[in-house]
Structure 1
Amino acid sequence: MTGIDHPCSFHGLPVFTLPAPGDDGGLPDTLPGADSIAWRLDCAWDGPEFPVLWQHFLDTVDPAAVRALLIGPWWSEEYSPLSPVVELIAADAGRFPALRGLFLADVVGEECEVSWLQMCDITPVIEAFPRLEELVVRGGGSGLNEETLELRPVRHEALRSLRFESGGLPGQVVRAVGSCELPALERLELWFGSQWYAGDATVADLAPLLSGGAFPRLRRLGLQNSEIQDEIAAAVASAPVVAQLEFLALSMGTLSDTGALALLDGQPLTHLSGLDLHHHYLTDPVMARFQELCDREGVHVDLAEADHWDPDDDEPRYVAVSE
C-alpha cells in the first residue's frame, strides 16, 4: 500500500483520534472543541465494535458541531464490510448539521491492504449529507472478496472535492461519477489501480469527465495510478476539459514516452499552474522536454520517482498503489 498514509490534517483541520471506551489512558481531562479538529474513529485490533465506538462518539462529542470525520479501521478482529458503518452514519446524519468533510476508510497497509478492504455502496452517505463539501473514499474492488465499492449517480449541490484512492477502482464507479450532477465540484481525483484488483475502468468510461460538460467548476483533475496511463494521457491531450483546469495529475501510473509524447504534442498545457507526473517511466529526453516547456511557461511539473524502463526488455510496469 505504498504512498498511502494517515493524514495529519483533513478538510483544513488537524486530525484527532478519539480514545476508545476502555482505553487504558481513558479520555483526556479536556477534549478539543468539537468544531476545532477532524475527528477520527478507530476500532483498532481488540477494540470495541464499531456500533459501540460510534455511540461513544455521539455521547462524548457534540455531533452538531463536528465539521470533519474520518473513519479508520471499523473492525475489531476479522475484517468486515463497511456497509453497517455507512448505514449508521447515514441514519444519524441529522445530528451532524455542520459536517462538511468525510473520509471513509482512513486505513494504511499495516492495518489492512487497500485491496482487502471490504467496501460497499457509499451513495447513502452522499445523499444523507446535502451540505457535504469534501469526500474521500479509500478502497475499491478486490480479487479476495465480493464486497466491492459501488456508487449510484446522484445530484449533490455542495460537493466541491471528491477523491477515490484505490488499488482497483471498478469501472462502474467511474461511470457513476461521470453520470453524477455535481455543479459545485472543483476537484476530482481518481486512482484506477490494477486489473488484478478489479480496476477495470477504461478510457471510454472517462468520456463524460473529459468532455468538459460534466462539471463546469472543475479546476483540479487527477486521473492517476493507472495501468492504462498512456491511453489516458493520449485522451487528455485532446480533451475539452483541460482548457478549464488549473492543475492536472497523471501520476502514480505506468506513463511512458508513448503517452507523454501524445500529451506534449496535444493541446497547450501552458495555462496550468501545475502538472503532476510523478512515478513514471519516461526517458531522459522526454523528461527534458517537459522540464523545458514548463520552465519556459512557468508551469510547475513534478517528474519525481522516475523508473528508467526499457521497452526492449519487455519488463512490466507497475502502478504505485495496487494491493
Structure 2
Amino acid sequence: MAVEHLDIDHPEVFHGLPVFTLPEPDTLPAPTLPEPGSVAWRLHYPPEDGGFPALWRHFLGAVDTRRVRALLIGPWWHEDYISLGPALRLIASDAGLFPELRGLFLADVTGEECEVSWIQLCDITPVFEAFPQLEELVVRGGGESMSDDEELRLEPVHHRALKSLRFESGGLPGHVVRALGASDLPALERLELWLGTQGYGGDATVEDLRPLLSGAALPSLRHLGLCNSEIQDEIAAAVASAPVVARLESLALSMGTLGDMGARALLDGQPLTHLVSLDLHHHYLTEPLMSRFRDLCAGADVHVDLDEADGSDPEDEEFRYVVVSE
C-alpha cells in the first residue's frame, strides 16, 4: 500500500472526483461545463466587484447544485486577506441547495496564494450542523496572530455521516483538538491532524490528544495521523500505549520532529505488526532505529515510510523542524 505525501498544493482529485475550477463569469467563449456530479467544483478568486457573494451567486446560477457532490473553496478574497467567516455563513445558509454534497474542502489555498499560517479561518461548527450527510471535510490554515473572529474554532459536535476529517495547519489550536476529543463521530474512519508549532498557535498537548487516543468516541477509526508536530517524540510515546492503535490499519507520525526517543517508545510499546502502513517520513532517526523499523515491518509485511531522514546530530533538537509551519 503506497503512502501518499500531502503537499500544500491544489489537489487534482478530491472525494474521488477530478477537480474542476469554475470559470469566471465573463469567460469567452462560454465554456461547456461538466455534469454537476462528475467533478469536484473549485471556487477560486472572487470577482473584483462583489467579492465572494458575487462568485457564489455565479456558481448557484451556472451549476445545478442539487447534483453537486464535492466542493472546494479557494481564496475567497480579492486583495486583502479576510476571514472565511462571511463566506462560510453564506455557504451554510444555502446548504439546502446541496442535498448531495458529501465532500467539502475549506481553504484550498496554496503557499503562493497565502502562507498557511496567514489563512484567516473562523468557527467551522456550522459546517457540521448545516451538512448532516457530509462524509469528507478538509480544513487548511491557522496561525497565532488572529483575532477571535479570524481564528479556527470548533465546538464539540455530533455527526453520524462523516468518514474522513483532516486539518492541515502550521499551528492547530489546542482548543480545536479538545473539541474533537469531546465530539461524537461514530462513522469517522480517517482522522489526520497537522499539529504544527507553538510559534504559529499550535499549542495542543499530549493530554489534549488523550480522548482521541482512547478511541472511545471513534469506533470506526482505521487511520490516524498525528503529524507535523514539534512534540512528535511525546506523541509517539503516548501512541505506544494508546487503545485506539489496536484497531488501526494505518498510522502516520510524519512531517514532524520524531527522533530516537519517540522511535524507541513505539518499538517497545504495543504491537504495530497488524498495520498495513506506518508513515514516519520526515524524521530525525538514526540508522540503528531505522533498521529496527525496517526489520519489524518487513517481517510483518507492513509498509513503512522512512523517507526524508534528516542527517542532523540526533542529540541536537534545537535545529529540528516540522514540514509545515508558516
Using the size of structure 2 for normalisation, the TM-score is: 0.95
| Distance of 2:110 and 2:187 partners within structure 1 | 30
In the other structure, the counterpart of 2:70 is: 68
| Distance of 1:50 and 1:322 partners within structure 2 | 27
Is residue 4 from structure 1 mapped to residue 5 from structure 2 by the alignment?
no
| Distance of 2:218 and 2:60 partners within structure 1 | 35
1:115-138 Cα deviation digits (max 9, x unpaired): 001110001011100000000000
Q: Aligned in 2, Cα 1:100/1:154: closer, same or farther, shift over 3 Å?
A: same
| Distance of 1:64 and 1:4 partners within structure 2 | 30
Compare 281-290 and 311-320 and name the one that shifted more. Answer: 311-320
In the other structure, the counterpart of 2:23 is: 19
| Distance of 1:320 and 1:194 partners within structure 2 | 10
In the other structure, the counterpart of 1:96 is: 98
| Distance of 1:312 and 1:270 partners within structure 2 | 29
Within the candidate set 209, 214, 219, 2:217 is matched to 214
Unpaired runs of 5+ in structure 2? 1-5
Give the match's secondary structure for 1:190. Answer: strand
| Distance of 2:265 and 2:11 partners within structure 1 | 34
Residue 315 of structure 1: CA displacement? Answer: 3.9
Q: What is the number of equivalent residue pairs in this alignment?
A: 320
Residue 313 of structure 1: CA displacement? Answer: 4.5
Is residue 316 from structure 1 mapped to residue 316 from structure 2 by the alignment?
no
1:236-277 Cα deviation digits (max 9, x unpaired): 000000001000000000000000110000000000000000
In the other structure, the counterpart of 2:240 is: 237
Compare 286-295 and 307-316 and name the one that shifted more. Answer: 307-316
Within the candidate set 246, 250, 267, 1:264 is matched to 267
* RMSD (Å) for aligned C-alpha atoms: 1.5
Residue 311 of structure 1: CA displacement? Answer: 4.0
Residue 106 of structure 1: CA displacement? Answer: 0.2
Residue 44 of structure 1: CA displacement? Answer: 6.0
1:146-295 to structure 2, matched below 5 A, reads 146=148, 147-295=150-298
| Distance of 1:178 and 1:258 partners within structure 2 | 26
One-letter amino acid matched to 1:6:
H
% same residue: 70
* Aligned 8 A contact 2:46 2:54 in 1: no
In the other structure, the counterpart of 2:3 is: none
Give the match's secondary structure for 2:319. Answer: coil
Give the match's secondary structure for 1:56. Answer: helix
In the other structure, the counterpart of 1:40 is: 42
Residue 26 of structure 1: CA displacement? Answer: 5.2
Residue 142 of structure 1: CA displacement? Answer: 2.7
Is residue 141 from structure 1 mapped to residue 143 from structure 2 by the alignment?
yes
* Aligned 8 A contact 2:120 2:146 in 1: no
Within the candidate set 86, 89, 97, 1:87 is matched to 89
Residue 47 of structure 1: CA displacement? Answer: 7.6
Unpaired runs of 5+ in structure 1? none
Compare 208-217 and 67-76 and name the one that shifted more. Answer: 208-217
One-letter amino acid matched to 1:5:
D
| Distance of 1:321 and 1:102 partners within structure 2 | 22
* Aligned 8 A contact 2:46 2:52 in 1: no
Q: Aligned in 2, Cα 1:262/1:62: closer, same or farther, shift over 3 Å?
A: same
One-letter amino acid matched to 1:274:
S
Residue 213 of structure 1: CA displacement? Answer: 1.1
In the other structure, the counterpart of 1:113 is: 115
| Distance of 1:38 and 1:44 partners within structure 2 | 18
Is residue 299 from structure 1 mapped to residue 302 from structure 2 by the alignment?
yes
| Distance of 2:279 and 2:41 partners within structure 1 | 30
1:189-208 Cα deviation digits (max 9, x unpaired): 00001111100000000011
One-letter amino acid matched to 1:295:
A
